Structure 1
């Protein structure tokens, strides 16, 4: 089974950059999207591979939002984490299958000057509680807006107090997610250096001055079933690249 996740930084923009061709070429069983930046009536993806398409848009137009394409019909679909104060930005979709859940998430960014850091800390706790409330193992993916360790970022020293690499965010990631889920990529490749996001500024992608902030996290009991976890750095169209999970379920 192949699952892919991609922060597209605007679904309408990426549709003009060959997105449907990428969907067809990668041919995943489930394809998760973050940062759609669109309302449902603005999203029209004509791809015969995926009869099941689910959209969770933010109330604020042109902001945040998630989507999942699936070849497999889920048993149920949930939007958000059942907490009104956290469910206005379209950040979570959960698909239930026979023996597992697939969750796509676009974690809140702490923002310039860390103005949303306090909210981010609240979100992390609430989201962790939501995952732990589920009654089956979890495949969690998305832009988690945190580089976990220094190996996951090109310039750790100069980014120490920047959103996505603060001590608070990294500690919260470990406490709220890595205590219950395994980072599939880092588990398989403890010393490998690859990134999934590059700033549009300063030719960062050309210089490979990036961050690894897009993940496939899996419940501990599912980690032995993981065959590979990849970062698809050759796919363009966004400031992020897709991340891929191969697992036998």
Structure 2
């Protein structure tokens, strides 16, 4: 029953939409001193972070934050500080993971693909080091024994580094929760209704009526008065002054009777 409930929680956690304030790759840049502190004093940091995640109220403490079968069966209600100290020293990995799950469930934080790859690589490297150690014990080869020791040392280094980054990630997230980064940023505004380029503007909006004799402007472009033209718009009155020319135009009217006109010679 407990395992099924745990699997249901894991499935729900996959649908979370929020993300960590900083991912595992950037925790060293986010808070370098605390990352070093978490590397050299990992159990102490795990104790402080769990207590802070519970808002300092140790009456809410449960072993492994309620995510393990032993949770609630270790006498936490009588001496929660001692139980937490025992947890972080004897079950350090579980204490870090439990604090992580506690924060994820509280703030609906998902684990990114990058974080999953880093954590998965850490676990795979530990399993590989364990397999090499077993093979070295069975075969008894000196070369395999040395290779297993090197691999175990590498796995321990990766484990300690990833745990330090994870704890720094938890600390930065709780700094954000407690308002140490200032007020929360405003929500992203809804998408604005953008006007399309192929959508014509109304011809009467923002344009004065065209003067007499002036061709109507095109739909929405160009604006009224652009480009400027010399001598435009025409003067008042129609036809314009000086038009039509007086020399020989228009031709004198022909007489109504008779054709060809007088004086015409064949």
Task: Please identify the structure whose Cα radius of gyration is greater.
Answer: 2
Which of the pair is proportionally richer in strand?
1
Larger RCO (CA under 8 A, 6+ residues apart)? 2
User: Which band: TM-score by shorter chain?
Assistant: under 0.3
Higher helix share: 2
TM-score by length of 1: 0.23
